[in-house]
Amino acid sequence: MIIIGFSLLLALIGGWLNGGSLLNLEKVKFKSVLFFIVGLMLQIPLRFGIPIDDYFPIHLLGNHLYILSLFLILFTIIMNLRLPGFKFLALGASMNFLAITANGGRMPLSYKAVEIAGMMKDLEIALQSGEWVHFAISKPGETLFPFLGDIIPLPLGSFFSRVISPGDILIALGVFLFIFYSMRKPFTTT
């Protein structure tokens, strides 16, 4: 996600300008890291644009594995709420998890937001090729929690344009706060 990458870059610059060091991040002690790693590994087919049916013969099984991957990542975030920014991460990840889980493993996607972001051609190509199998076009009455889906257009040019969710914004804020505050001084756990 481009918004998370942007928040990470801003946090690194801000932390460095405030006398912080990346070496301070070494001192952060994470709990349940293995759950996070497994969760990310389960998402590999989706992140590389590979239709999930190529890996899992039953489409429903693929959606269940996607939901499981999100649960494992959310579990790791919740286990680390004591860290700076992780409350925002937890809230944003919970919002995304609710939207995706309620819609059978698919994130609601606003057709109008895709249009505003200038991504209609990308959407048509992706839907035909099966690349966006974890997105569902939001239809009134057919989509649960559409307001938690990808509804915020970011028309940033052909390569950088995206449609993001309110949860993505909170996740980006959490990433920024974690990196910024953890860089500024050695982090101690209690």
What are 137-160's pLDDT values in tens digits? Answer: 777 778 899 999 999 999 988 778
Looking at residue 61, its pLDDT comes to 60
The token pair at 16 is 């460095």
Closest CA to 18 of 179, 146, 188, 145: 179
Contact predicate 164/150, CB 8 Å: yes
Q: What is the pLDDT of residues 33-69, one digit of tens each?
A: 999 999 998 887 766 655 555 555 445 466 788 899 9
Looking at residue 119, its pLDDT comes to 87
Lowest-confidence segment of 3-12, 67-76, 103-112 by average pLDDT: 103-112
Tell me whether residue 172 is exposed, middle or buried, using C-beta atoms within 10 angstroms of its C-beta: 0 to 12, 13 to 18, 19 or more: buried
Please, which pLDDT band fits residue 186 given cuts at 50, 70 and 90? Answer: low
Please, which pLDDT band fits residue 94 given cuts at 50, 70 and 90? Answer: very high
Q: What is the mean pLDDT of the chain?
A: 85
| Domain boundaries of the chain, sorted by first residue | 2-184
d(CA 11, CA 155): 23
* Bridge partners, residue 107, by sequence: 135
Please, what is the end-to-end C-alpha distance for the chain in angstroms? 32
Of all residues in the chain, what percent carry a pLDDT higher than 70? 84
Looking at residue 69, its pLDDT comes to 93
The token pair at 76 is 């790791």
Other Cβ atoms less than 10 A from the Cβ of 125: the count is: 11
